[in-house]
Homo-oligomer: A and B are copies of this chain.
């Protein structure tokens, strides 16, 4: 039986007339799509079309949930109360599920976005609010997060399935992944990104935030310059190394 690895990507981040991300090129290459729910990015029209695109490519669909801050693209910390975070998550899960319902599809996972993602990794009360929201709403949802994070620990403690991800397009150091203030030079060419992914999967410890035993999914952001090329290279390198692309719920290679 083949080893399996998921490739996930943040998609559906366009808004109104504004196009963002290489959704059309990326969708055929991934196994899980994190769809923006209209708070940090996305809108009702974009959500519907992104779900249709994912479905056409047999890609699993999750909710990509951020702060209500389109001006900042959800990348700025807002010191919202845990109850506010809880309510934002329920609202966005429901909104996305509205479009899943008319498409006859089932949501597979949830991934927090940007500043909310990092806050849930680092702050216990935020991660607990997020975990409670998922438990209350649908405990079958997988939670995508960093290994060894507060979010990972709290989700696992609540019996949720956790998907640990490695970022192919972000630099790692001994502090873990650096989500902000990275340079394209640090990421390197697609081949270098693919090599980092294989190394992370093979090494016993890549960094405190990324232990190989925990990596279930490789993330590439659709707005990283050259994202489709990076994903293609990562995908091909993974397949060449004997991995099947897919997640626990679905293998599409």
List residues of A whose CB falls within 8 A of some B CB. 15-20, 38, 43-45, 47-48, 68-73, 76-80, 83-84, 87-88, 90-99, 101-102, 115, 133, 136-138, 223
Q: How far is it, in angstroms, between the C-alpha of A71 and the C-alpha of B98 when the chains are bound? A: 19
Q: How far is it, in angstroms, between the C-alpha of A83 and the C-alpha of B83 when the chains are bound? A: 30
Q: How far is it, in angstroms, between the C-alpha of A91 and the C-alpha of B223 when the chains are bound? A: 25
A/B interface sample: 30 pairs, CB < 8 A: A16-B70, A16-B72, A17-B20, A17-B73, A18-B18, A44-B84, A44-B90, A45-B84, A45-B87, A47-B87, A47-B91, A48-B90, A68-B71, A72-B78, A72-B84, A76-B78, A76-B79, A77-B77, A77-B78, A78-B78, A90-B102, A94-B94, A94-B97, A94-B98, A94-B101, A95-B98, A97-B98, A101-B137, A102-B133, A102-B136
Min C-beta distance of A39 to chain B, whole Å: 10
Q: How far is it, in angstroms, between the C-alpha of A138 and the C-alpha of B102 when the chains are bound? A: 9
Total copies of this chain within the assembly: 4
What residues of chain B lie closer than 8 Å to A101, measured between beta carbons?
94, 137-138
